[in-house]
Chains A and B, each alone.
Chain A
Amino acid sequence: MKCPKICFVNQKGGVGKTTSTITVADELARRGKRTLVVDFDPQGQCAVALNIPPQPGVFKLLISGSAPADCINETGRPNLAMITGDRSTATAQIVLAAENRPFDTIRQALKPLENQFDYILFDTAPSVGGIQERAVWAANLIVIPVATDYLAVDSLGKTLDMLTALSKQGWQGKLAGILPTMYDHVTNESRKAYSYLEKNYPETLFTPIRRATILRDCIADGLTIWQKAAPGPVADDYRALVDQLMKLSRS
């Protein structure tokens, strides 16, 4: 697969989409893969998490018609670049919907970058409204992070419905898997949620990422887990995820 595009998507907020995106992206970059993160979330928190200022990169890419290379921000980390998002991403979403732009808008916009990068990762907003569907449409692989709690598991069905609908319309991508996050083996709720996922989605379940305060500390410090707490149990969980994603992206 040439320049696999991996989209982290879930309509529920707070499930670990942004954390997973930047952690996976940084590990890929550390393994020598030229990686681009595109932040389709109007909160622009991918940039915040990597300690760079949120800028209207996505708006410039999709609406202003800027050249993709001009929308890229350096992150100060080797092999890792980002197209940042901010509040203007919400405006971009409204414009995309109002102008009824085609589903492959994002795919076409990112095409010139495929030779420059080995991996492109999308972080999406916890909402439905046009930009998320177009990001999924542009992606080859979909990862659905699901916090191991009742509401997050409940929202999983809706995300899968969206993927089913897109699939019926000719979407060419594939589901890489469901990623249980914030797994805490001590709590009953977490265990029940995980066993529910295991029972209902056995074919598509990644190794769970455990709940850890260190992940929130990393975000607060503008660092990734690889800079702050590797080697460690959470870093091992994410390393396993990156291994699996790299295997899938070779298929």
Chain B
Amino acid sequence: MDWNRRPTSPLAPHELIPVAQPKKRPAQKRSWEQLPENAVRRYRLPENLYGKICAIATLNNISNVSHVAIQLVDYALYQHYQGNPEFQLSTRPNPQGRKFLLAWKAEQSNWNPPQNKLAPDFERGKQKRKEKVLPGEYGGKIKDVGLRLSTTRLRLKDLADETYLPISDTLTFLLLKAVIAYENGLFSLELKQIPA
């Protein structure tokens, strides 16, 4: 079978037929978008947790997921600093990294920490990059999510620094606990008109 015998069209389909293009993201030119505290930051969140937050946004007719995330994190931070035991982060050292790891309750009892290798690995070639997976409840897929957490981000960062945890792990914990509280009806979201 000779593929070279196939005639090649002088014109590509997009020159003859209208081709659908994905909608382009609008340029971030609004003044509030350009403020440093409103910049989009990327966080590594479990995919199903992010899905739950999106679902909460959809249910409450909120088009911006970041607004929901801010409310959830604010609630969780408030509970944390009020001393609610459900919202206290427990950590454990990570022998493979500088920062600590989040210790979920389920695995605190029989946790077997990974050990550092005594001898260096002499395998040649490209090393496989280890996928960082949060332990405990969330062993699922991790997704890079862009959120504008505004000033809440600074408070989140403070807590992450206090507990010596990566900021994404801290955010995951707070969002998860807040989502559970939301699902249990401990708090609800209310839409308010922003005064012009």
Number of B residues near A (Cβ < 8 Å) is: 17
* B35 at the A interface (CB under 8 A): no
Chain B neighbourhood of A189, CB < 8 A:
1
* B6 at the A interface (CB under 8 A): yes
* B191 at the A interface (CB under 8 A): no
Chain A neighbourhood of B9, CB < 8 A:
157, 160, 200
* A217 at the B interface (CB under 8 A): no
User: CB-nearest residue of chain A relative to B8?
Assistant: A200
Q: Which A124-176 residues sit within 8 Å CB-CB of chain B? A: 141, 150, 153-154, 157, 160, 163-164, 167, 173-176
* B13 at the A interface (CB under 8 A): yes
Q: Are A203's CB and B12's CB within 8 A?
A: yes
Place the interface of chain A in its size category: 20 to 34
Chain B neighbourhood of A167, CB < 8 A:
16-18
* A250 at the B interface (CB under 8 A): yes
Interface of B is mostly: loop
Given A150-B1, A153-B6, A192-B3: A201 and B13 within 8 A (CB)?
A: yes
Q: Which B1-50 residues sit within 8 Å CB-CB of chain A? A: 1, 3, 6-9, 12-14, 16-23
Q: Are A176's CB and B1's CB within 8 A?
A: no
Among A153, A164, A251, point to the contact of B17 (Cβ < 8 A): A164
Chain B neighbourhood of A154, CB < 8 A:
6
Given A196-B6, A200-B9, A200-B12: A175 and B20 within 8 A (CB)?
A: yes
Enumerate chain B interface residues (CB-CB to A < 8 A). Answer: 1, 3, 6-9, 12-14, 16-23
Q: What 5 pairs between A and B have smallest CB-CB spacing?
A: A174-B20, A251-B23, A247-B22, A248-B20, A164-B16
Enumerate chain A interface residues (CB-CB to B < 8 A). Answer: 141, 150, 153-154, 157, 160, 163-164, 167, 173-178, 189, 192-193, 196, 200-204, 244, 247-248, 250-251
